[in-house]
Amino acid sequence: MDIKRVGIVANSSKEKAAEYSLRLGRWLSDRGLEVLFEEEIAGKTGMPGVSRSDLVSAVDLIVVFGGDGTLLVAARMAMGSDVPVLGINLGGFGFMTVINLNEMLDAMEMVLEGKYSISRRMMLSVSLEGVEYPALNDVVINRGNLSRMVNLETFVNGKYLSTFKADGLIISTPTGSTAYSLSSGGPIVLPELDSIIINPICPHTLTKRPVVLPPDSAIEVIVWTKEGKASMTLDGQELFILKPGDKVSIKKSKNYINLVESPYRDYLEILRTKLGWGELP
């Protein structure tokens, strides 16, 4: 793909975000590319800004400065388009922001020369009260601030699976398998293996374990609580309050996100590095 216009999105609260956004913007401009700054970081750099809704349709590549949370914001912007997203890590943990700051310019040089690969990441479509919402990482249904566990009556393709009596339930994509689901004892699923993970949070019965489902599975969760309302979050960014009897439907989305892979490390090396796995002697 011929890249002529680059959009820059950044977590403006990060100390180095404005500095490195401006540095990359100038570097790209010196090479004859048009650079558009998302309006939030534009305000920190003194450059003209473009709204999130207009940015995606105007660029050939989105570069994200921050951590995985910032990349999730950009992914939602790019959803439904073929515009690839490249994540540059500003010092956090970051499974999806795979380029380090000291690699930024060399990596961008390779991308502009077409020497890069794309990881096509599946998304979820979440339906609540007839309205659909996207999620790249996960859907989390939990007890919120209730003192008791919630009962989550769960069906797969119309067939009863189980009623999870637990603190909550995580329904995750492979991309989200290294996020909240991992910290709750879920499996790591490589991104190229489209699938849906159901993972209970602190289940009352220890035999209730994570389940990995085929990508064409349709999941329904009916929420039952004795103390009123529970909650649902999408990618940790959108919050919904659920009432007893509310039904949440989850399935694979028709949309994908295209993430630019690191030219220096494959996914297995990223796992070893981020999770601190030991090397062979």
| Domains in the chain, CATH or no CATH each | 5-117+261-275 (3.40.50.10330), 123-254 (2.60.200.30)
30 an active-site residue?
no
Q: How confident is the model at residue 144 (pLDDT cuts 50, 70, 90)?
A: confident
Predicted pLDDT of residue 280? 61
Over range 199-223, report the average pLDDT.
95
Q: Which of 32-41, 146-155, 239-248, 251-260 comes out lowest in average pLDDT?
A: 146-155
* CA angle (237, 139, 88) in 5-degree steps: 50
d(CA 134, CA 136): 7
Identify which of 114, 6, 111 has the alpha carbon closest to the alpha carbon of residue 59: 6
Q: Is the pLDDT of residue 105 over 60?
A: yes
> Do residues 9 and 55 lie in contact, with contact meaning Cβ atoms separated by under 8 Å?
yes
Token pair 């500003």 is found at 90
Check 2, 30, 54, 68 and give the catalytic one.
Answer: 68
Residue pair 229/53 in contact (Cβ under 8 Å)? The answer is no
The amino acid at 102: N
**What integer is the mean pLDDT of 233-240?**
95
101-129 average pLDDT score: 95
pLDDT of 279 over the 70 cut:
no
DSSP state of 132: E
Q: Is the pLDDT of residue 281 over 60?
A: no
SS3 call for 64: strand
Query: Would you tell me how many other CB atoms lie within 10 Å of the CB of residue 93?
Result: 12
Mean pLDDT score of the chain: 93
What mean pLDDT do residues 12-17 have? 88
What's the pTM value of the predicted model, to 2 decimals? 0.91
CA atoms of 44 and 77, how far apart (whole Å): 20
Confidence bin at 94 (pLDDT 50/70/90) = confident
